Amino acid sequence: MPETIEIDCWGQVAGESDNYRVKPPVAVETDAPANEGGVLILYRRYFNECPCAVQRDVIETALGRVTIKTQVAYGDWNDRAAGLTYVPLTPTLTVTRQEITASNQSFNATHGVAISGATIAASLTYGTVADNATFSFYGTSSIDGVELSDVGVLSGTVSTAGTYTAQVAIIAPHAKQKVITITLVVS
């Protein structure tokens, strides 16, 4: 079931950041103003992660008077121009938390031979796992000689045949941690 969280208009999560509701951070990305039917549109975000809070300035000139409306949305930065729903700038937004999709997985290996091609599969609601998530053993791993990189790749050599299990924690910005079990069958 999707969970909702509260973020401020810069993308900081309530209760998960010491900077929540304080001076806004510096923008990490700002688009050059785009002219859309005589209206200038400017997009910016404050954290280099996805999903993010996207601020949009709508700059209109009518009868010699310039009006600037700042709006905010939450979602994938790549959807900023067409795929997000903007609301007037408010201190906070209630949004759906990013979700990590992953399930228990099994890998095969040969004892005494280096593990090759064993990568834990996971996906995110927004963005890609490789850019935004980290993987680590959850607690102590029972697989001696095997390491797990922060991008989910298993490496090392198991010296004895058998079936080994370990729990893996997957962590991504704006997402609830996901713990899965991996099984390594060593022949």
The answer to whether the bond into 91 is cis (omega within 30° of 0) is no
The total domain count for the chain is 2
Domain end call among 57, 74, 96: 96
Task: Return the percentage of the chain with pLDDT > 90, whole number.
Answer: 43
Which residue did the predictor score with more confidence, 4 or 168? 168
| Alpha-carbon distance values, 144 to 52, 103, 123, 154, 163 (Å) | 39, 23, 27, 12, 12
Q: What is the pLDDT of residues 99-157, one digit of tens each?
A: 899 999 999 999 999 998 899 999 888 777 776 788 999 988 878 889 999 899 999 99
Are both 86 and 132 inside the same structural domain?
Answer: no
Determine the pLDDT at residue 12.
81
Are both 85 and 19 inside the same structural domain?
Answer: yes
d(CA 7, CA 20): 8
Query: 145: number of CA atoms within 13 Å, CB side?
Result: 16
Asked if pLDDT for residue 22 goes beyond 70, the answer is no
Are both 130 and 173 inside the same structural domain?
Answer: yes
Q: Which residues form the domain of 123?
A: 100-186
d(CA 101, CA 121): 9
Are both 39 and 84 inside the same structural domain?
Answer: yes
Task: Return the percentage of the chain with pLDDT > 70, whole number.
Answer: 93
Q: Are strands 105-109 and 178-186 parallel, antiparallel or unpaired?
A: parallel
d(CA 61, CA 167): 58
Are both 46 and 10 inside the same structural domain?
Answer: yes
d(CA 11, CA 97): 12
Band the pLDDT of 16: cuts 50, 70, 90.
low
> Strand, coil or helix: what is 77?
helix
Q: What is the pLDDT of residues 162-180, one digit of tens each?
A: 999 999 999 987 788 899 9
Q: Which residue has the tokens 């795929």?
A: 83
